[in-house]
Amino acid sequence: MNQKILSYTANQKTFHIQHTEIMRGVFAPNKTLANALLRPNGLEFLVNQSDFFNNGHTLYIDFADEIPGSIMNEDFARYCSWPYFNDKIKKSFKSIQSNAYSYGLKRGAPFGIPLEINPPLTDQTQISAIGIYKDEEFLVLEILGIDNITPPFYELQYMHNSIKKYIYTEKTKKKRLSNQEKQEDYILNEKDGERSREDTNQPAMDLDPIQIAFRHSTVVTRIPKQV
């Protein structure tokens, strides 16, 4: 499979980073954002409504329902808002899908389409990585962290369907009556060969997420929806 590689020189050393590793390290901390990479205007489908107020220091954003509630937390809201409201970063995010589409139209895809990104990194960005170093050249194998990222806001207020505000009343609880008169015992999978079994030999691996450090702290507030 073809791979695009970014090469640059810093401090008299040459660094080589695969484009796919830049995408994974910068734009794909979870499955939701990874799927949005190859979707036209993928970031737009993750946000229902947004607005700046308080002289541009405070951002309000209403996230779409397709974002799972299991990942909808302050870290995701802060991280997702960064590429959405930074024009340079957003342009780099969109370049992945546009480059893949353009490559497919011009050359076809008999052996797959090599993913290519217009790098969003600047001279002030600091990257922590592991790789192979030899003869003043460094091949990056995995990006561990990115530092010195500047979000375009100081306060973030976000809303999502998973954040609900429950209003309690003193009324009696509703009860649902069952039409079944008596309990019955059911036997599932009587045959031993058809019973489901737990695969205890399946390997499990926990991977640490990439560390993203913003230049200034952000106050994040959850806004619940009334139920």
* pLDDT confidence of residue 206: 46
Tokens at residue 92, please? 């780099």
Kindly list the domain boundaries of the chain, sorted by start residue: 5-165+206-226
In order of 175, 180, 186, 221, the CA distances from 183 in angstroms are 18, 7, 10, 48
Radius of gyration of the chain (CA): 24
Q: How far apart are the first and last CA of the chain?
A: 50
State the CB neighbour count (10 A cutoff) for residue 111.
9
* pLDDT confidence of residue 205: 47
* CA gap 80, 82 in Å, rounded: 5
pLDDT in tens, the chain (227 residues): 577 899 988 888 999 999 999 998 888 888 889 999 999 999 999 999 999 988 889 999 999 998 998 889 998 898 899 889 988 889 999 999 999 999 888 887 777 788 899 987 666 778 889 999 999 999 999 998 888 788 888 999 999 988 877 667 777 766 666 666 666 666 666 666 655 555 555 554 445 567 778 888 889 999 987 65
- Compute the C-alpha angle 71/72/76, nearest 5°: 85
Instruction: Say whether 211 sits in a helix, a strand or coil.
Output: strand
* Region class of 57: left (phi > 0), else alpha (psi between -120 and 50), else beta: alpha
Sort strands 13-18 and 5-10 into parallel, antiparallel or unpaired: antiparallel
